[in-house]
C-alpha cells in the first residue's frame, strides 16, 4: 500500500478502541483509493484489524462501488439518518445531482451524519458546515 493510504489508515484506526471496529471504513478507504479490494488489499486490512483476509474480502465484495473522481458517498446508515443524514443527502443532491451515491454505512456512527468525497470523510455535519464544504469554503 502507498504511504498516503497507510497514513489515512492509521488515522482511521486511531478512532476505534478495537482495530476490528475500523473494518468498514478501511474497506471504503481502499475502495476509494484503489478502486477495488484485491486480495493483497484484503490481506493488508486483515493485518491491520486482526480479522481473516477471507472475512475482509467477503465484506468488501458486499460494499460494491468503487472510486469515482467526482462522486460523493453519503452515509445512509441508521445513526446518520437519525442525526440528519436525510437532510445531508437532500442538500448534496440539490447541489451535485447524480454525483451523490448513498452507501449503507461509512462506519463513523459516533460522528454522524457523514459523507465521503475523494477518500476523505466529513463528519458531524451541520447544514451550515455542509453548505461551506460543498461550496469549498471549509476543510
Cα–Cα dist 35/18, whole Å: 26
pLDDT of the chain, 139 residues: tens digit per residue = 789 899 999 998 998 999 998 898 898 888 878 877 888 888 999 999 999 988 888 787 666 544 444 578 888 889 999 999 999 999 988 888 878 888 888 888 888 999 988 778 899 998 888 888 877 655 4
From residue 19, how far is each of 43, 87, 130 by CA, in Å? 14, 31, 29
| Cα–Cα nearest to 69, from 16, 118, 33 | 118
DSSP bridge partners of 101? 73
| Cα–Cα nearest to 119, from 1, 8, 2 | 8
Phi, psi angle pair for 117, to nearest 5°: -145, 125
How confident is the model at residue 70, as a pLDDT? 58
CB 53 within 8 Å of CB 80: no
Amino acid at each position: 500500500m502507498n504511504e498516503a493510504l497507510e497514513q489515512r489508515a492509521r488515522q482511521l484506526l486511531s478512532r476505534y478502541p478495537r482495530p476490528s471496529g475500523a473494518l468498514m471504513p478501511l474497506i471504503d478507504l481502499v475502495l476509494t483509493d484503489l478502486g477495488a479490494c484485491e486480495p493483497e488489499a484484503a490481506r493488508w486490512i486483515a493485518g491491520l484489524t486482526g480479522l481473516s483476509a477471507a472475512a475482509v474480502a467477503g465484506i468488501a465484495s458486499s460494499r460494491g462501488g468503487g472510486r469515482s473522481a467526482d462522486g460523493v458517498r453519503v452515509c445512509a446508515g441508521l445513526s446518520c439518518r437519525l442525526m440528519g443524514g436525510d437532510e445531508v443527502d437532500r442538500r448534496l443532491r440539490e447541489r451535485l445531482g447524480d454525483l451523490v451515491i448513498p452507501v449503507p454505512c461509512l462506519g463513523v456512527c459516533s460522528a454522524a451524519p457523514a459523507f465521503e468525497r475523494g477518500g476523505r470523510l466529513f463528519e458531524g455535519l451541520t447544514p451550515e458546515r455542509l453548505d461551506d464544504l460543498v461550496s469549498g469554503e471549509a476543510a
